[in-house]
Structure 1
Amino acid sequence: MRHTPPLTPQFYVTAPQSCPYLPDRMERKLFTALQGDNAHALNDSLSQQGFRRSQNVLYRPSCSDCAGCLSARIRVSDFAPTKTQSKTLRRNANLDREVRSPWATEEQYDLFRRYLSARHATGGMADMDIFEFAAMIEETPVRTRVIEYTDSTATDDALTAVCLTDVLQDGLSMVYSFYKPELANRSLGTFIILDHIRLALELDLPFVYLGYWVPGSEKMGYKANFSGVELFRNGGWEPMEQPENYSADLHPLSTEPISEQVSNLILPNVRPVNR
């Protein structure tokens, strides 16, 4: 029997689990399926409201007593590289960018495994096999690209970095990136962001979406090093202030009830529902 997905997205909440960013915290996520003919518009709309994509799911942190995770994006017109970032671009001038369709390769998976083993050996993706990796790359109902960076001077093992990127109506969303961990002195993570800023300018797109920035999390601290960063707070985007002005302190009133969060969402071709 054929079933047609509902016209209005259905939202759900995950069970609490350990927070990957802050110790002794529990995280909870609000999420919805990304499917059907309206997937592109839904991805655009919810990305502009702090959501992120993982395969065919859109999610946003919705912890009961913590609002530390803040969606971050760079307004490329306001970005100016620091001296250190300019050096990073020059240091990686030998890397060639190639934008590919979202197909997984063994070469990508080998680099992915090396990256995880060195940087995130105990993380949630540490046990991902090649089939799960292929699903992460290929299971996308939206306009997704795999951006590869190869060493133009290398005779073998040229693949140096990879970023899975969604092309939104108003920007590039960096879904996941990985790179050669042995090249720590090249600041490849920073370089990938800098090159996405260049690519967004080439495509005349105003934003590069970085995912979440978490005050007090060393793992996410690098995102505050870019000028032109905006944070999604209290239902809208605002320029980032000094990082020390933000706090991830626990507070029982920091998060709106789930029903109110869902009611306040702006969906494509759907007016906000007031409950």
Structure 2
Amino acid sequence: MAVQLDSDEPRLFQTGEHACGYFPERRARDLVLDPHDTRLDALYPLALRWGFRRSGNLVYRPHCLGCHACVPVRIPVAQHTPDRSQRRCLARNDDLDCRVLPAERTDEQFALYRRYLAARHLRGGMDDHGPIEFDQFLIGDWSQGRFLEIRAPGDPGQRGRLLAVAVTDVTANGLSAVYTFFDPDLPQRGLGTYAILQQIAWARRSGLPHLYLGYWIEGHRKMDYKRRYRPLEYFDGRHWTTAAP
């Protein structure tokens, strides 16, 4: 179902119902910007401000009947101060090397991605992802994405072992944390937290105002962690506010 706004304005499509990725007993649907619109790269920064998210070439926002659990959130990076746990995470990983690279898949990255999925999302619908699915999901055709690689210390002149990759979109309105995968055998390092803290630092160095974190879901064990980053701004469908829904 398409919603035509104006001949010059983007079209929105409403998907049919599908399985919810967060609550197995629920059904979900989304609003999607016309995936054939040649202006998607220009529309995407505005769409982030409207609470949308990117997955591959799709720019979408949950639009479920009777459910408003998915709340868009972002961090105003200039105001962020790490809490005690986050400061410990930074200190614990002070030996790691972080580099921002073009969003181009390598065999090393893909091998880590497969290990991460097997450990964290077994039978979650992504088990059979190959190189093509990796590119379709994380890179797409038009996004201004980058890979933030996080590596262990290496020998002089050598790169250390790849520990994590934070897939990040770069826009004029801020960075958007698309997806992060990391070594599942190093829980003590807190690599997911460290990746977000490095993205905050990256946005601040670049003079960008926000890091978009996607959707916060209150009480959901995989999504509620986003509340630990303060201050956190929430989108209510019209305005961004620091007051949680």
Q: What is the TM-score when the length of structure 2 is the normalising length? A: 0.90
Per-residue CA deviation, residues 51-110 of structure 1 (Å, 9 max, x unaligned), is 001121100000011011001100112211111100101111121111111111111110
Contact 2:32 2:58 in 1 (8 A): yes
Percent identity at matched positions?
A: 38
Q: Within 1, Cα distance between the matches of 2:129 and 2:61? A: 22
In structure 2, the residue corresponding to 1:190 is in which secondary structure? Answer: helix
The letter of the residue matching 1:127 is D
The letter of the residue matching 2:25 is D
Deviation at 1:221, TM superposition (A): 1.2
Q: Within 2, Cα distance between the matches of 1:240 and 1:182? A: 36
In structure 1, the residue corresponding to 2:104 is in which secondary structure? Answer: coil
Q: Within 1, Cα distance between the matches of 2:202 and 2:122? A: 31
Per-residue CA deviation, residues 245-264 of structure 1 (Å, 9 max, x unaligned), is x5xxxxxxxxxxxxxxxxxx
Q: Which residue of 1 aligns with 2:66?
A: 65
Q: Within 2, Cα distance between the matches of 1:125 and 1:157? A: 28
Contact 1:81 1:226 in 2 (8 A): yes
Q: Within 2, Cα distance between the matches of 1:215 and 1:137? A: 25
The letter of the residue matching 2:215 is Y
Q: Within 1, Cα distance between the matches of 2:42 and 2:159? A: 41
Number of matched residues?
A: 237
The letter of the residue matching 2:212 is Y
Per-residue CA deviation, residues 115-140 of structure 1 (Å, 9 max, x unaligned), is 01111112132221122112334423
Q: Within 1, Cα distance between the matches of 2:181 and 2:8? A: 36
Q: Within 2, Cα distance between the matches of 1:16 and 1:203? A: 39
- Bigger Cα Rg: 1
Q: Which residue of 2 aligns with 1:218?
A: 221
Q: Which residue of 1 aligns with 2:83?
A: 82
Q: Which residue of 1 aligns with 2:4?
A: none
Per-residue CA deviation, residues 228-259 of structure 1 (Å, 9 max, x unaligned), is 11111131111043xxxx5xxxxxxxxxxxxx
Deviation at 1:178, TM superposition (A): 0.3
Q: Which residue of 2 aligns with 1:151?
A: 152
Q: Which residue of 2 aligns with 1:260?
A: none
140-149 vs 14-23, which moves further: 14-23
* 1:156/1:99 CA distance change after superposition, 3 Å: closer
Instruction: Work out whether 1:163 is the aligned partner of 2:201.
Output: no
In structure 2, the residue corresponding to 1:117 is in which secondary structure? Answer: helix
In structure 1, the residue corresponding to 2:223 is in which secondary structure? Answer: helix
The letter of the residue matching 2:217 is V
Q: Which residue of 2 aligns with 1:265?
A: none
Q: Within 2, Cα distance between the matches of 1:151 and 1:158? A: 5
Q: Which residue of 1 aligns with 2:100?
A: 99
Contact 2:138 2:178 in 1 (8 A): no
Q: Which residue of 2 aligns with 1:32?
A: 33
Instruction: Work out whether 1:187 is the aligned partner of 2:190.
Output: yes
Return the match for 1:238 from 215, 238, 241.
241
Instruction: Work out whether 1:114 is the aligned partner of 2:108.
Output: no
In structure 2, the residue corresponding to 1:147 is in which secondary structure? Answer: strand
Instruction: Give structure 2 stretches of 5+ with no counterpart.
Output: 1-6
Q: What is the TM-score when the length of structure 1 is the normalising length? A: 0.81
Structure 1 runs of 4+ off > 6 angstroms? Answer: 154-157
Q: Which residue of 1 aligns with 2:19?
A: 18
Two-structure CA RMSD over aligned residues (Å): 1.8
In structure 2, the residue corresponding to 1:182 is in which secondary structure? Answer: coil
Q: Within 2, Cα distance between the matches of 1:84 and 1:127? A: 35
Q: Within 2, Cα distance between the matches of 1:87 and 1:127? A: 36
Per-residue CA deviation, residues 125-176 of structure 1 (Å, 9 max, x unaligned), is 2221122112334423131111111112477870010011111112100111
Q: Within 1, Cα distance between the matches of 2:167 and 2:190? A: 18
